[in-house]
Amino acid sequence: MKKAGWLGIFLLSLGCLQPPARKAIPLPAVDNEGHRGCRGLLPENSIAAMLYALDLGVTTLEMDVVISADGQVLLSHEPFFNAQISSHPDGRFVDTAEARTLNIYQMNYADIRQYDVGNRQHPAFPQQRVQPAIKPLLADVIDSVEQYALATGRPLPFYNIETKTSPATDDVFHPRPAPFVKQLLDVVNDKKVGPRTIIQSFDFRTLREVHRHYPKVRTSVLIDAHDHRSMKRQIRDLGFVPDIYSPNFQLVTTELVETCHARGMKVVAWTANNRAIINRLKQMGVDGIISDYPDLLTRKK
Protein backbone atom coordinates (compact mmCIF):
# COMPACT_ATOMS: atom_id res chain seq x y z
CA MET A 1 0.00 0.00 0.00
CA LYS A 2 1.18 3.54 -0.77
CA LYS A 3 2.41 5.74 2.06
CA ALA A 4 -0.51 8.13 1.49
CA GLY A 5 -2.92 5.25 2.00
CA TRP A 6 -1.34 4.34 5.32
CA LEU A 7 -1.49 8.00 6.33
CA GLY A 8 -5.18 8.12 5.53
CA ILE A 9 -5.88 5.07 7.67
CA PHE A 10 -3.84 6.56 10.51
CA LEU A 11 -5.73 9.85 10.36
CA LEU A 12 -9.06 8.05 10.16
CA SER A 13 -8.14 6.10 13.30
CA LEU A 14 -7.76 9.40 15.13
CA GLY A 15 -11.42 10.22 15.54
CA CYS A 16 -10.46 13.67 16.79
CA LEU A 17 -9.43 14.60 13.23
CA GLN A 18 -12.75 13.65 11.68
CA PRO A 19 -16.09 15.50 11.86
CA PRO A 20 -18.92 13.60 13.55
CA ALA A 21 -20.93 11.18 11.43
CA ARG A 22 -24.28 12.40 10.16
CA LYS A 23 -27.31 11.22 12.13
CA ALA A 24 -30.72 10.27 10.78
CA ILE A 25 -32.86 13.12 12.20
CA PRO A 26 -31.40 16.64 11.89
CA LEU A 27 -31.03 18.67 15.06
CA PRO A 28 -33.21 21.80 15.34
CA ALA A 29 -31.77 24.80 13.51
CA VAL A 30 -32.22 26.79 16.72
CA ASP A 31 -32.29 24.47 19.71
CA ASN A 32 -34.21 25.77 22.72
CA GLU A 33 -33.39 23.44 25.61
CA GLY A 34 -35.24 23.31 28.91
CA HIS A 35 -32.73 22.69 31.72
CA ARG A 36 -33.93 19.76 33.85
CA GLY A 37 -37.25 20.40 32.12
CA CYS A 38 -37.84 23.95 33.35
CA ARG A 39 -36.15 24.10 36.74
CA GLY A 40 -36.91 27.77 37.26
CA LEU A 41 -40.64 27.16 36.98
CA LEU A 42 -41.39 23.60 38.20
CA PRO A 43 -39.53 20.94 40.23
CA GLU A 44 -36.41 19.85 38.38
CA ASN A 45 -36.18 16.59 36.44
CA SER A 46 -39.86 15.87 37.06
CA ILE A 47 -42.36 14.67 34.49
CA ALA A 48 -44.45 17.80 35.12
CA ALA A 49 -41.45 20.00 34.30
CA MET A 50 -40.82 18.12 31.05
CA LEU A 51 -44.43 18.44 29.90
CA TYR A 52 -44.62 22.13 30.79
CA ALA A 53 -41.38 22.71 28.88
CA LEU A 54 -43.13 21.27 25.82
CA ASP A 55 -45.95 23.75 26.38
CA LEU A 56 -43.34 26.52 26.36
CA GLY A 57 -42.08 25.40 22.95
CA VAL A 58 -38.74 23.78 23.74
CA THR A 59 -37.19 21.62 21.05
CA THR A 60 -34.98 19.60 23.41
CA LEU A 61 -35.55 18.39 26.97
CA GLU A 62 -32.36 18.43 29.01
CA MET A 63 -32.14 16.02 31.95
CA ASP A 64 -29.76 14.07 34.19
CA VAL A 65 -29.78 10.34 34.92
CA VAL A 66 -28.43 8.07 37.64
CA ILE A 67 -28.73 4.32 38.31
CA SER A 68 -30.44 2.61 41.25
CA ALA A 69 -29.29 -0.51 43.09
CA ASP A 70 -31.75 -2.60 41.11
CA GLY A 71 -30.48 -1.26 37.79
CA GLN A 72 -33.20 1.29 37.07
CA VAL A 73 -32.32 4.42 35.11
CA LEU A 74 -33.96 7.47 36.70
CA LEU A 75 -33.80 11.23 36.57
CA SER A 76 -31.72 12.98 39.23
CA HIS A 77 -29.04 15.63 39.15
CA GLU A 78 -27.23 14.20 42.18
CA PRO A 79 -26.73 10.48 42.84
CA PHE A 80 -28.30 11.11 46.25
CA PHE A 81 -31.19 13.12 47.72
CA ASN A 82 -30.35 16.82 47.62
CA ALA A 83 -31.07 18.43 50.98
CA GLN A 84 -32.36 21.60 49.31
CA ILE A 85 -35.37 19.91 47.71
CA SER A 86 -35.89 16.44 49.22
CA SER A 87 -38.25 15.11 51.88
CA HIS A 88 -38.38 11.70 53.56
CA PRO A 89 -41.41 9.46 52.99
CA ASP A 90 -42.79 10.64 56.36
CA GLY A 91 -42.49 14.29 55.31
CA ARG A 92 -39.33 15.18 57.26
CA PHE A 93 -36.89 17.34 55.33
CA VAL A 94 -33.66 15.67 54.27
CA ASP A 95 -30.82 17.60 55.91
CA THR A 96 -27.35 18.29 54.61
CA ALA A 97 -25.63 15.92 57.04
CA GLU A 98 -27.56 12.90 55.79
CA ALA A 99 -28.01 13.72 52.10
CA ARG A 100 -25.06 11.71 50.78
CA THR A 101 -26.02 8.72 52.92
CA LEU A 102 -29.21 8.51 50.85
CA ASN A 103 -27.17 7.04 48.00
CA ILE A 104 -29.48 6.23 45.07
CA TYR A 105 -27.02 3.61 43.76
CA GLN A 106 -27.51 1.72 47.03
CA MET A 107 -31.33 2.00 47.02
CA ASN A 108 -33.99 0.10 45.10
CA TYR A 109 -36.37 2.17 43.02
CA ALA A 110 -39.40 1.08 45.07
CA ASP A 111 -37.82 2.92 48.01
CA ILE A 112 -36.51 5.86 45.98
CA ARG A 113 -39.96 6.75 44.68
CA GLN A 114 -41.25 7.20 48.23
CA TYR A 115 -39.18 10.40 48.63
CA ASP A 116 -40.65 13.73 47.53
CA VAL A 117 -38.53 16.22 45.56
CA GLY A 118 -41.12 18.81 44.61
CA ASN A 119 -42.85 20.13 47.72
CA ARG A 120 -39.85 22.22 48.83
CA GLN A 121 -39.15 25.21 46.63
CA HIS A 122 -35.56 25.41 45.50
CA PRO A 123 -34.11 28.49 47.24
CA ALA A 124 -32.42 29.69 44.04
CA PHE A 125 -35.67 29.72 42.06
CA PRO A 126 -38.37 31.89 43.67
CA GLN A 127 -40.65 31.53 40.63
CA GLN A 128 -40.70 27.74 40.94
CA ARG A 129 -44.17 26.35 41.69
CA VAL A 130 -44.05 23.68 44.36
CA GLN A 131 -45.99 20.46 43.87
CA PRO A 132 -45.50 16.80 44.75
CA ALA A 133 -42.84 15.12 42.60
CA ILE A 134 -40.72 11.99 42.63
CA LYS A 135 -37.54 11.03 40.82
CA PRO A 136 -39.09 9.36 37.77
CA LEU A 137 -37.81 6.49 35.68
CA LEU A 138 -36.36 7.60 32.35
CA ALA A 139 -38.69 5.12 30.62
CA ASP A 140 -41.72 6.76 32.24
CA VAL A 141 -40.49 10.23 31.28
CA ILE A 142 -40.12 9.23 27.64
CA ASP A 143 -43.54 7.54 27.58
CA SER A 144 -45.22 10.58 29.14
CA VAL A 145 -43.47 13.07 26.87
CA GLU A 146 -44.12 11.14 23.67
CA GLN A 147 -47.79 10.63 24.51
CA TYR A 148 -48.27 14.27 25.52
CA ALA A 149 -46.59 15.60 22.39
CA LEU A 150 -48.76 13.43 20.15
CA ALA A 151 -51.95 14.25 22.07
CA THR A 152 -51.31 18.00 21.87
CA GLY A 153 -50.04 18.07 18.31
CA ARG A 154 -46.55 19.22 19.28
CA PRO A 155 -43.38 18.07 17.51
CA LEU A 156 -41.63 15.16 19.19
CA PRO A 157 -38.68 16.63 21.12
CA PHE A 158 -35.05 15.66 21.36
CA TYR A 159 -33.69 14.31 24.65
CA ASN A 160 -30.38 15.67 25.94
CA ILE A 161 -29.39 13.22 28.69
CA GLU A 162 -26.44 13.85 30.99
CA THR A 163 -24.59 10.92 32.52
CA LYS A 164 -23.82 11.74 36.15
CA THR A 165 -20.52 9.92 36.51
CA SER A 166 -17.04 10.72 37.79
CA PRO A 167 -13.88 8.59 38.15
CA ALA A 168 -13.76 9.46 41.85
CA THR A 169 -17.16 7.90 42.56
CA ASP A 170 -17.14 4.79 40.34
CA ASP A 171 -18.80 1.84 42.11
CA VAL A 172 -19.79 4.14 44.99
CA PHE A 173 -22.48 6.42 43.58
CA HIS A 174 -22.80 4.88 40.12
CA PRO A 175 -21.61 2.04 37.88
CA ARG A 176 -18.46 2.42 35.81
CA PRO A 177 -18.94 4.01 32.36
CA ALA A 178 -19.46 0.81 30.34
CA PRO A 179 -22.39 -0.63 32.34
CA PHE A 180 -23.80 2.85 32.98
CA VAL A 181 -23.95 3.63 29.26
CA LYS A 182 -25.36 0.22 28.39
CA GLN A 183 -28.18 0.50 30.93
CA LEU A 184 -28.99 4.00 29.73
CA LEU A 185 -28.93 3.15 26.02
CA ASP A 186 -30.96 0.00 26.61
CA VAL A 187 -33.80 2.28 27.74
CA VAL A 188 -33.28 4.74 24.90
CA ASN A 189 -33.28 1.97 22.30
CA ASP A 190 -36.22 0.16 23.88
CA LYS A 191 -38.24 3.38 23.61
CA LYS A 192 -37.00 3.90 20.03
CA VAL A 193 -35.87 7.48 20.60
CA GLY A 194 -32.20 6.97 19.71
CA PRO A 195 -32.35 9.24 16.63
CA ARG A 196 -33.63 12.04 18.90
CA THR A 197 -31.24 11.43 21.78
CA ILE A 198 -28.06 13.27 22.73
CA ILE A 199 -25.78 11.93 25.45
CA GLN A 200 -23.88 14.71 27.20
CA SER A 201 -21.29 14.56 29.94
CA PHE A 202 -18.38 16.23 31.68
CA ASP A 203 -16.98 12.71 32.03
CA PHE A 204 -15.23 11.99 28.74
CA ARG A 205 -15.22 8.26 29.52
CA THR A 206 -18.96 7.90 29.03
CA LEU A 207 -18.87 9.83 25.77
CA ARG A 208 -16.18 7.49 24.48
CA GLU A 209 -18.37 4.51 25.37
CA VAL A 210 -21.27 5.99 23.42
CA HIS A 211 -19.06 6.87 20.45
CA ARG A 212 -17.51 3.40 20.39
CA HIS A 213 -20.59 1.23 20.87
CA TYR A 214 -23.49 3.47 19.76
CA PRO A 215 -22.04 5.59 16.95
CA LYS A 216 -25.45 6.69 15.68
CA VAL A 217 -26.30 8.36 18.98
CA ARG A 218 -25.22 11.99 19.21
CA THR A 219 -22.68 13.08 21.82
CA SER A 220 -22.21 16.44 23.50
CA VAL A 221 -19.12 17.37 25.48
CA LEU A 222 -19.87 19.58 28.50
CA ILE A 223 -17.22 22.16 29.31
CA ASP A 224 -17.07 23.86 32.69
CA ALA A 225 -16.08 27.50 33.11
CA HIS A 226 -13.03 26.38 35.12
CA ASP A 227 -11.69 24.17 32.33
CA HIS A 228 -8.75 26.21 31.04
CA ARG A 229 -7.69 23.79 28.32
CA SER A 230 -8.02 25.02 24.76
CA MET A 231 -10.91 23.63 22.75
CA LYS A 232 -8.37 21.85 20.53
CA ARG A 233 -6.83 20.20 23.58
CA GLN A 234 -10.23 19.21 24.98
CA ILE A 235 -11.20 17.48 21.75
CA ARG A 236 -7.82 15.77 21.56
CA ASP A 237 -8.27 14.52 25.13
CA LEU A 238 -11.77 13.28 24.27
CA GLY A 239 -10.38 11.36 21.31
CA PHE A 240 -13.02 12.20 18.71
CA VAL A 241 -15.07 15.13 17.46
CA PRO A 242 -18.47 15.13 19.19
CA ASP A 243 -21.63 16.32 17.51
CA ILE A 244 -22.00 19.16 20.01
CA TYR A 245 -19.59 21.32 21.98
CA SER A 246 -21.48 22.55 25.05
CA PRO A 247 -19.63 25.18 27.11
CA ASN A 248 -20.67 27.27 30.07
CA PHE A 249 -22.15 30.41 28.51
CA GLN A 250 -19.31 32.53 29.96
CA LEU A 251 -16.83 30.76 27.66
CA VAL A 252 -18.69 31.50 24.43
CA THR A 253 -17.12 33.86 21.92
CA THR A 254 -17.78 34.42 18.23
CA GLU A 255 -14.36 32.95 17.50
CA LEU A 256 -15.15 29.80 19.52
CA VAL A 257 -18.43 29.32 17.65
CA GLU A 258 -16.76 29.75 14.28
CA THR A 259 -13.97 27.32 15.19
CA CYS A 260 -16.47 24.69 16.36
CA HIS A 261 -18.53 25.07 13.20
CA ALA A 262 -15.40 24.69 11.08
CA ARG A 263 -14.76 21.34 12.83
CA GLY A 264 -18.33 20.14 12.29
CA MET A 265 -19.61 20.73 15.83
CA LYS A 266 -22.72 22.61 16.89
CA VAL A 267 -22.45 24.88 19.92
CA VAL A 268 -25.03 24.65 22.73
CA ALA A 269 -24.37 27.04 25.63
CA TRP A 270 -25.47 26.43 29.23
CA THR A 271 -27.14 27.66 31.49
CA ALA A 272 -28.38 31.11 30.45
CA ASN A 273 -31.17 32.59 32.57
CA ASN A 274 -30.97 36.23 31.56
CA ARG A 275 -32.53 37.72 28.42
CA ALA A 276 -29.53 39.98 27.72
CA ILE A 277 -27.16 37.00 27.93
CA ILE A 278 -29.45 34.91 25.73
CA ASN A 279 -29.58 37.65 23.08
CA ARG A 280 -25.79 38.01 23.16
CA LEU A 281 -25.33 34.26 22.69
CA LYS A 282 -27.68 34.30 19.72
CA GLN A 283 -25.75 37.18 18.18
CA MET A 284 -22.55 35.14 18.51
CA GLY A 285 -24.17 32.38 16.46
CA VAL A 286 -24.70 29.55 18.93
CA ASP A 287 -26.87 26.68 17.71
CA GLY A 288 -28.70 26.19 20.99
CA ILE A 289 -29.12 27.47 24.53
CA ILE A 290 -29.98 25.60 27.72
CA SER A 291 -32.02 27.59 30.25
CA ASP A 292 -33.82 27.05 33.55
CA TYR A 293 -36.41 29.45 32.13
CA PRO A 294 -37.14 28.15 28.64
CA ASP A 295 -39.92 30.72 28.29
CA LEU A 296 -37.11 33.27 27.88
CA LEU A 297 -35.89 31.28 24.88
CA THR A 298 -39.24 30.97 23.16
CA ARG A 299 -41.01 34.25 23.94
CA LYS A 300 -40.73 36.81 21.16
CA LYS A 301 -40.59 39.71 23.63
pLDDT at 206 over 70: yes
For each of the domains in the chain, give its residue range(s) and CATH number, in order of start: 34-79+137-298 (3.20.20.190)
pLDDT at 57 over 60: yes
In whole angstroms, give the CA distance from residue 18 to residue 25: 20
Nearest to 205 by CA among 166, 233, 162: 166
Output the pTM of the full model.
0.93
What pLDDT was estimated at residue 22?
A: 63
Contacts 24+ apart (CB under 8 A), 248-257: 248/223, 248/224, 249/277, 249/281, 249/289, 250/225, 251/223, 251/225, 252/281, 252/284, 252/286, 253/284, 254/284, 254/285, 256/231, 257/284, 257/285, 257/286
Orientation angle between helical segments 204-213 and 231-238, nearest 10 degrees:
60
Percent of the chain with pLDDT over 70: 92
**H-type helices in the chain, by residue range?**
3-13, 47-55, 96-99, 109-112, 138-152, 177-190, 204-213, 231-238, 254-262, 275-283, 294-298
pLDDT at 87 over 70: yes
pLDDT, average across residues 59-87: 98
Lowest mean pLDDT across 13-22, 92-101, 253-262: 13-22
Model confidence pLDDT, tens digit, residues 207-219: 999 999 999 999 9
In whole angstroms, give the CA distance from residue 190 to residue 241: 27
In whole angstroms, give the CA distance from residue 144 to residue 160: 16
Question: What does pLDDT average to over the chain?
Answer: 93
Q: Are 281 and 261 in contact (CB under 8 A)?
A: no
pLDDT, average across residues 22-33: 88
Model confidence pLDDT, tens digit, residues 131-162: 999 999 999 999 999 999 999 999 999 999 99
Is residue 74 packed enough to be buried (19+ CB in 10 Å), middle (13-18) or exposed (0-12)?
Answer: buried
Q: Are strands 288-291 and 197-201 parallel, antiparallel or unpaired?
A: unpaired
In whole angstroms, give the CA distance from residue 190 to residue 18: 30
